[in-house]
Structures are given as structure tokens and as C-alpha cells.
């Protein structure tokens, strides 16, 4: 019935637009109509009357994007494919074969199979090269990473045949892998950084983050943890409810964690239940300019309730609440409906001009230019943004992001321009992949434990030389010898950490990298 009505309407619209005078058309299109009606008529007119063929689906998508563009920076549209890719890291799992991999010269190199995952169960090991999927070549054919992932992933229970090349084995090996649910970890590292001091780094706030976090807490308590460093550097956020769960572990009963408020979304408060497992002991939360959203909720709650110390640099300032609006084709609008506020009443969201996304995205460069990332004295707040913490009545400021209690400047001497260029060209990652691919067995034999690797391994100079030679071919050069010498120590540390990651896991990577992380080191000084 609705379809017939639509056809009749299209016919009448076509008749009116084709045969009535232009002035009459204008009155019919606009006179007395709602904005929604106006949009419907415009779309139908273009689709049915335009001189050339149009892609109706793209036309509608562009219209939606155009409307959202004039709102805030975080109201967005995503098509069905983008929605799926966006949700997987937060949902905590996906269906696949269970390998960490990277591309080396158009070939998929297995970095690590997932423990007890489908690939490990059939005998696939680190260092294997997957060259065919269901007898279709994926190596040496310039297939995109997305296309390869599409072939490897599939519904749980389905099977995929993999052709594998393995060092020291002449003939091709074939494995049939039964796809299964593959967990996606959101906790990057859990380890004892000092006696009685635990360290947990959260990469994002997903559906399984709280469970992973509590498993890490129990592990560290069993090792004697009394105080905790919670690392939220570079954490872009995630689920609000997960942030509330994490903050709840530190706060007393009825302590306010966060509240949301909007024009059409009434104020909603989230409070602690008093059953947390981390109600005692010192807490230090680490933040930087890429700490955002849910991570700012946790750090803001701990700061406002005077439960711990925030160390680092002012966080990103993403305090807008998005509600997903699912569309029939699997696409989604994420529409801002409210603001986040810390317990002391600070709005986390930094200022923005509606429709000016470019200026918003330039915030990091502007902070660096104005000296905010390198000098605390360059940061100025107006008195109207002043708030007081709820227990000790300390002064804190709203107006965008969480300002740390202990400021740690960005070390521009360590992160040189030359190093940033090497990373941008993927020269560091590629050199590590080639090295670990050639030396994996020898390194495993030579360093059976991470502790022996940490204390005795030194990166061969040949790896550094190879990077510098390739950099010269890519026309990437240090400004002078002084910049080169400043770059080399951090480059060696990064490469050693990457090797540790590929031999063990991310916890080992951060154990090494944190030795030169100024924010982590400042936290340790405060605990001492």
C-alpha cells in the first residue's frame, strides 16, 4: 500500500514539476511545507527528473553528512561497512582465524597466533607466511589489507583452507582452520613496575574492558600490589558504562562519577556503589593530549573526588555524548545529545565552532605552537572556569579536557623530527619485522625469558644501518649530526621493545618503553 502511494506521489510530483509554470512549482515545493517535506521533495525530484543518472544511495548519504557537518565535531555518519569495523574493537570479539599479522613485501607474516585460538590449534606458528586462502593467492598480488582480512574472517564454525610457507620447510603447507570467536584485548599491559606498585595500561573502553581490568588487578594483588599506576595515555575512549565500571572500583558509595545533561536529554547521574576492589592504596592516573572521552570520565572522577593524582598533560577534551541512530541498511548516525560533566561540574568538552572541523582537528598543532605541551606557564584559564574538588577543595578548571595535578612537558628533544619521519614512512616497523622474521628461533633459544632479554639483549648495529640506508633512499634525512645522535637512543629502545612484543606480548613492550616515558617516570617519583 505504501509503495503504491509513493508511486502516485512521484507521478503527481513529476506532473506538477513538468507542466506547471516555474513560479507555481516554487510555491508547491516550498509553500507551507516542513523542512523534512522540503528535503523529501528535493531528493525525489533529483532522482526522477535530473538529466543524468544519479546514485540515489550516495545522494542521501551526502545529504546526511552535510547536515551533520553543520553540528558538532562528533556527530557523524558511518556506512554499514564502517559501522562493523568501528564496533569490533569495542564489542570485544570478532569471528576469524586468530592471528596477529603484518604485511612484509606484499606477504602476510604471522606475528603471533592467538593463544588457544583456531590457528594455533591446527599448528600455525609465528613466522609463517600465509600465501593462499581457499586456493586463491594473496601474496605478491598487491591485495589490500582490508581485502585479505575479509577473506580470512567469516562466520564462526565455517572453515578456510590456508596455504603457508614456513622457513626450513621446502614444500607448501596446508591447514584447514575452523573460524571461531576471537577476543579483542583492550588492556595493553599489566605488570609490577616496582615492588608494591602495579601498572595497568588501558587502550580503550570496550565491552570486556572491566573484566580484563579486574583480572589484571587480581593478578597484581597476588604479586603484592598496594598502589596502582593507571595509564590512560593515548586512550581515545569508548563506552560510557565501561568508564563508570572502572571508576567505581576506586570510589566510595554514592560518590558521583559523572553526569550527562542536554537540551532534550534530562540530567542523568552515575554514582559508585561502594563495592570497588581498589578503595585503598595510592592511585596515579596518566593522561596526555590524546586521552579522550571515557578515559577523561575516569580521570575526572578520580581527580574531583580527590581519590588520586593525575599526571601528564591536558587531555583531549571530548565531552559530548553520542546516541547511535541505526538506519535500515546497517548504516548509523552517531548524534550528540548531551554533555559529560565531572563530579565538580566541569564540562569536559573543549570549545568548538559549529561546522569548523578543520580548526578543531588542528588543536594539537595549536597547543604545540602556543607552548602548552612544553610549558605549564603557557596554559591559562579564566576564573569563570574554576571549580573545587569535592573533598580537599583544591582548584581545578573546566573548559575542555582534564588538566593534570602534575604537569609533564613533551620532550621534543627525544621525539625528533627525524624520528617522526622514520615512523611515518614505516621504516622502523618494517625493519623490525624483517629482523624478527630472520632471527626469531635464535632469539627464542638465546633468551628463554623476558628478564634475560631485557637485561642482556642489544640491537645489532646492522639493523640501525639498514634503517638509515633505506631512509636515505626515501630522501628522509636528519637535519644534522646532532639530530641524528639525539634520535638513535630512542630508536634503539623502540626497536628492542618491538622485538620483545613479537617474542612475548604488549606488556613486555611497555615494560621497556616505559623506562623512557617521562610521564610514567614522574608517577614513580611521586610514589617514592
DSSP character string of 376-387: GGG----GGGEE
293 belongs to the catalytic site = yes
DSSP 514: G
3-state secondary structure of 163: strand
Is there a contact between 432 and 499 (Cβ–Cβ < 8 Å)?
yes
CA pair distance 293, 301, nearest whole angstrom: 12
d(CA 208, CA 25): 56
318 labelled catalytic:
yes
Closest to 214 in 3D by CA, of 258, 291, 278, 273 = 278
SS3 525: helix
* Dist CA 294 CA 6 (whole Å): 44
Three-state DSSP class for 340? strand
Q: Name every residue whose Cβ is closer than 8 Å to that of residue 283 and which is 6 or more positions away in sequence.
A: 227, 228, 230, 250, 302, 307, 308, 309
Q: How many CB atoms lie within 10 A of CB 84?
A: 13
Residue-wise burial string across 441-477, b where 16 or more C-beta atoms lie within 10 A, e elsewhere: eebeeebeebeebeeebebeeebeebbbeebeeeebe
380 by Cβ neighbours in 10 Å (0-12 / 13-18 / 19+) ranks as exposed
Residues 478, 276: Cα–Cα separation, whole Å:
51
d(CA 163, CA 145): 17
Annotated catalytic residue 95: no
The catalytic position among 255, 304, 363, 502 is 304
User: Exactly one of 128, 234, 299, 318 is catalytic; which is it?
Assistant: 318
Positions marked catalytic: 293, 304, 318
Amino acid at each position: 500500500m505504501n509503495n503504491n502511494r509513493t508511486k502516485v506521489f512521484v507521478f503527481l510530483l513529476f506532473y506538477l514539476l513538468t507542466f506547471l509554470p516555474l513560479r507555481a512549482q516554487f510555491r508547491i515545493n516550498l509553500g507551507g511545507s516542513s523542512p523534512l517535506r522540503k528535503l523529501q521533495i528535493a531528493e525525489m525530484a533529483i532522482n526522477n527528473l535530473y538529466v543524468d543518472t544519479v546514485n540515489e544511495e550516495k545522494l542521501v548519504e551526502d545529504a546526511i553528512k552535510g547536515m551533520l557537518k553543520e553540528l558538532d565535531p562528533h556527530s557523524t555518519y558511518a556506512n554499514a561497512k564502517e559501522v562493523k569495523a568501528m564496533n569490533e574493537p569495542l564489542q570485544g570479539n570478532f569471528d576469524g582465524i586468530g592471528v596477529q599479522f603484518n604485511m612484509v613485501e606484499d606477504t602476510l607474516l604471522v606475528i603471533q597466533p592467538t593463544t588457544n585460538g583456531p590457528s594455533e590449534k591446527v599448528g600455525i606458528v609465528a613466522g609463517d607466511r600465509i600465501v593462499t586462502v581457499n586456493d586463491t593467492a594473496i601474496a605478491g598480488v598487491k591485495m589490500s589489507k582490508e581485502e585479505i582480512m575479509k577473506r580470512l574472517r567469516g562466520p564462526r564454525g565455517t572453515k578456510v583452507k590456508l596455504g603457508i610457507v614456513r622457513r626450513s620447510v621446502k614444500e607448501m603447507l596446508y591447514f584447514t582452520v575452523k573460524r571461531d570467536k576471537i577476543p579483542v584485548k583492550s588492556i595493553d599491559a599489566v605488570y609490577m613496575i616496582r615492588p608494591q606498585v602495579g601498572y595497568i595500561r588501558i587502550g580503550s573502553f570496550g565491552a570486556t574492558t572491566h573484566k580484563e581490568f579486574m583480572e589484571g588487578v587480581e593478578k597484581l594483588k597476588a604479586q603484592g600490589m598496594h598502589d596502582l599506576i593507571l595509564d590512560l595515555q593515548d586512550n581515545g575512549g569508548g563506552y560510557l558504562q565501561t568508564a563508570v565500571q572502572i571508576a567505581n572500583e576506586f570510589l566510595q558509595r554514592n560518590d558521583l562519577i559523572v553526569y550527562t545533561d542536554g537540551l532534550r536529554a534530562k540530567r542523568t547521574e552515575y554514582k559508585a556503589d561502594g563495592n570497588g576492589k581498589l578503595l585503598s592504596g595510592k592511585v596515579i592516573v596518566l593522561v596526555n593530549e590524546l586521552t579522550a572521552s571515557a578515559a577523561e570520565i575516569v580521570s575526572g572522577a578520580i581527580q574531583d573526588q580527590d581519590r588520586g593524582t593525575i599526571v601528564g598533560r591536558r587531555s583531549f577534551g571530548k565531552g559530548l555524548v553520542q546516541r547511535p541512530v541505526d538506519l535500515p541498511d546497517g548504516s548509523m548516525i552517531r548524534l550528540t545529545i548531551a554533555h559529560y560533566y565531572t563530579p565538580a561540574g566541569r564540562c569536559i568538552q573543549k570549545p568548538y565552532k559549529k561546522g569548523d572541523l578543520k580548526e578543531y582537528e588542528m588543536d594539537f598543532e595549536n597547543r604545540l605552537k602556543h607552548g602548552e605541551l612544553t610549558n605549564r606557564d603557557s596554559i591559562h584559564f579564566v576564573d569563570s572556569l574554576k571549580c573545587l574538588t569535592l573533598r580537599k577543595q583544591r582548584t581545578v578548571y573546566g573548559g575542555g579536557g582534564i588538566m593534570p595535578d602534575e604537569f609533564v612537558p613533551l620532550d621534543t628533544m627525544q621525539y625528533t623530527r627525524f624520528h617522526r619521519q622514520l615512523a611515518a614512512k614505516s621504516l622502523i616497523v618494517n625493519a623490525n619485522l624483517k629482523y624478527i622474521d630472520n632471527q626469531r628461533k635464535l632469539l627464542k633459544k638465546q633468551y628463554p625469558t623476558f628478564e634475560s632479554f631485557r637485561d642482556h639483549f642489544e640491537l645489532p648495529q646492522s639493523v640501525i644501518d639498514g634503517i638509515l640506508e633505506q631512509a636515505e633512499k626515501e630522501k628522509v634525512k636528519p637535519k644534522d649530526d646532532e639530530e641524528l645522535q639525539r634520535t638513535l637512543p630512542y630508536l634503539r629502545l623502540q626497536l628492542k621493545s618491538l622485538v620483545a612484543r613479537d617474542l612475548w606480548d604488549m606488556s613486555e613492550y611497555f615494560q621497556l618503553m616505559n623506562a623512557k616515558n617521562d610521564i610514567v617516570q614522574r608517577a614513580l617519583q611521586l610514589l617514592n
